[in-house]
Amino acid sequence: MGRERERKRGRSRRERRRRSTRTDWTGTLGLAALGVFAIGLIAGTILTTRRPTLKADRSPDLSGPVAMPQPQSDGNLTDSALNAAVNQLFLSLNPSLADNQYFPQFAQEKIGWILSQKKAVIFFIIFLKNTENTGLDAEDLMASGTVEGKSTIVIARPRFIGFLLEGGRTSAPFTLQERNDFALALVHEVVHLQNPNRGDPARLGDRMAEELRAWRETDLNFARQLRELNQPMNYRVIEADDALRACGDKLPCEPLRQMLLQTEIRK
Ligand SMILES: [Zn+2]
């Protein structure tokens, strides 16, 4: 690592400390947060869709010295529009809303848990400008981990842009599938965060075990119920559900493992 990078990394740490106390969970931390995820990140392979529509977003543009966040626009989605979108999406999933009564109890509890953590200011959603060095695969929408003792859910900015553009709505009201997929992703991350024995995210074996567990929990307790209600959702969730059914809902489940492995081995 060059001196320039080292210097900027130091600045990032200071930036992180300063910002880590902020309560605005939709705040754009951007690159300043990158150093964080090299530490406590539990790999969170989440919903991916057929194929990213924004190829440019998948090409790391930070191979040179890390730059501080610049105002960005992708498909007219500015940082503030993305912040608003996350905020609106999250608020729209509040279990107390009449719209969300079709969520099973399990999902309502997990989303409720996020709400309770947020009030205690130990929950963050952080935008990354780029997923390089974060343990996130380019197709990951979310990841989670414990950062400085605080439960953290990360939303990868490039992937989130693709999620919105593919979903068809980039601001409220969102489509039913966007809401469902966002809820599924959040619940999946809470399943990770509530597990005190997540293993070592640096080890593929540990990651796979934890991912299989989280996908199964989220499928049996949430995705399957949505599917029975004919609710629209990401095709990958349906594939996972099919795989688990083929395994009698039990782990180990080779079809599910194969499905998740492709993403995990890239990390
Ligand atoms: Zn995961």
pLDDT at residue 237 is higher than 50: yes
Centre of ligand 1 to C-alpha 2, Å, is 33
Q: For 243-267, how does the pLDDT look when each residue is reduced to its tens digit (9 = 90+)?
A: 999 999 999 999 999 998 887 777 6
Centre of ligand 1 to C-alpha 262, Å, is 13
Q: State residue 139's pLDDT score.
A: 72
> Counting every residue, how long is the chain?
267
> What pTM does this model have?
0.72
Segment holding 125, helix H or strand E: strand 124-128
Centre of ligand 1 to C-alpha 137, Å, is 11
> 145 and 134 in contact (C-beta within 8 Å)?
no
The dihedral formed by the CA atoms of 260, 42, 223 and 266, expressed in degrees to the nearest 10: -20
Quote the CA–CA distance of 203 and 34 in Å, as a whole number: 20
Q: State residue 133's pLDDT score.
A: 58
Alpha-carbon distances of 267 from 97, 192, 202, 247, rounded to whole Å: 38, 18, 9, 26
Q: State residue 53's pLDDT score.
A: 27
pLDDT at residue 186 is higher than 80: yes
Centre of ligand 1 to C-alpha 64, Å, is 30
Query: Where are the domains positioned within the chain?
Result: 22-50+74-201
Of 80-84, 129-133, 194-198, 221-225, the least confident: 129-133
Percent share of the chain, pLDDT over 90: 37
Centre of ligand 1 to C-alpha 5, Å, is 30
